[in-house]
Amino acid sequence: MMSENTRLPFVQLFTDGACSGNPGPGGWGCILRHPASGKEKEFSGGEALTTNNRMELQAVIEGLKQLSRRSQVEIVTDSTYVAKGCTEWLVGWKRNNWRRKDGRQWVPIANEEHWKQLDQLLSQHAIRFTVVRGHSGHPENERCDQLAVAAAALVKST
C-alpha cells in the first residue's frame, strides 16, 4: 500500500540568506525545483536592517509560500540553525509558549514571528532537510548565495 506522502508531488527547495553586517542589510534567495517536469524558479528579496539568521528563515518561508498544494519538499540549506530549529527545537518552543530556558529563567526565542510563520508552512507539507556545507561549491547553494547577496546589495544601495 502506498503512503499518502509517496503520492504527493516532490519538489526541492534550495535556500540561503546573507547579511552585510549582523545586523545590517540582508537578502535571501531560493530555488524551487520540480524534478519530474524539470521546471525551476528563482526568488529573492531583502531587508534594510536584519540578521543572517532571519534571512535564512525568510528564504525557506518565501520558498514554501510559492507552493499551491501539499507536497513532499526536500529543503536544502547550509543553515544548521534553520534545519535544527525545524527538526529538533520547534516542538519544545511551541510547548513552552515560544520560549526557551536561559539559565534558570524563560526567555522569548529569537525570531519568534519568523518561526511561527515557518511552523505554519511546514505543517502543510511532508518536509525533509538536507544540510550542505556553505561556500563549498554546491551549485544550487552557490546560486542562492548569489541571489541573497544581490538582494542585500539592492536594499543597501536604496
Catalytic residues: 16-17, 56, 78, 135, 145
Please tell me the distance from the alpha carbon of residue 37 to that of residue 40, in angstroms, as a whole number: 9
Cell numbers 552585510 correspond to what residue?
A: 20
CB atoms within 10 A of CB 138: 17
Please tell me the distance from the alpha carbon of residue 67 to that of residue 27, in angstroms, as a whole number: 21
56 burial level (CB within 10 Å; 0-12, 13-18, 19+) = buried
By DSSP bridging, strand 10-19 and strand 72-77 are: parallel
